[in-house]
Amino acid sequence: MGFPPIRWFLERDKIRLVIIGHSLGAGAGTIAAMELKEHDFLEVEAIGFGCPSLLSRELSESTKEYVTTVVNDADIVSRMSGSSMTNVLLDLMEYDWTHDVLVDLEFSLERLKEVFSDFRGFLPETSKALEWFTKRMDEVVRPTIAKRAPRGDKLPSVLIPPGRCIHLFRDGYGTTGTYTPCDWFSSVEFSLTLIDDHLIPTGYNRAMLSAAQDSDRDYSVSTIRLFSR
């Protein structure tokens, strides 16, 4: 036990201010916290959900004591800055998707023949269709992609989320949350859930409830049990 130190008596006369926000609110709240922190009569803390990439690394580091940022899985807003968006656009332009589309096409044609077995004769032969598409890809699409590719290095990411970051992520069983470095969120994670993850009802609320429920469970134990049977 520590007896109340002198500081205990001197710090009484303060207003304890907690700034809370989501998205833009989290970002603006963090800046407001940084501004208000300078005033002695306030004891400021900020909690943000889905805060945009807001501060440069050193500044983000300097707010660790009083700012907490929760980032849900692939939430795009927390990773969104001018440079990260430009980089993702460059990635998208440079990505050679021709092989993926051929695999997709082969699978789709086979499936169509299964579903519409009565009209099988009207559908093109898979190998011939793939050959035709491959030729088109080589002649038109691949040169276009190749023209875009040599653009040099990506832009450096200047901004990251502020303070102490918590990353909620789908771990394969449920949802887990860990304290992670904020510069993990300096580039966009292009996922189909990047918008849903940012919203409160479909993203943060679901993930946080799941993480709270899953926090007591040890899935590794159940996996071992499964294999030991």
Residues 160-199 contacting another protein, CB under 8 A: 166-167, 169-172, 176-180, 189-192
Nearer to another protein by Cβ, of 118 and 218: the residue is: 218
Interaction mask 210-229, another protein, x per CB under 8 A: -xx--xx-------------
Give the nearest distance from C-beta 117 to another protein in angstroms: 27
From the list 209, 198, 212, the residue with the least C-alpha distance to 27 is: 198
Helices within 2-51 (DSSP H only): 6-10, 24-36
Q: Is 159 in the site for another protein (CB under 8 A)?
A: yes
Rounded least distance, CB 102 to another protein, Å: 11
Instruction: Report which residue type is found at 40.
Output: D
Name the residue nearer to another protein (CB basis): 119 or 219.
Answer: 219
Judge contact between 57 and 160, C-beta under 8 A.
Answer: yes
User: Residue 166's closest CA among 41, 30, 20, 50?
Assistant: 50
If binding is defined by CB under 8 A, does position 23 make contact with another protein?
yes
Which residues ranging from 78 to 117 are in contact with another protein (CB under 8 A)? 80-82, 85-86, 89-93, 95, 97, 100-101, 104
The two most distant CA atoms of the chain are separated, in Å, by 90
Smallest separation, CB 116 to another protein (Å) = 23
Distance CA 143, CA 119 (A): 36
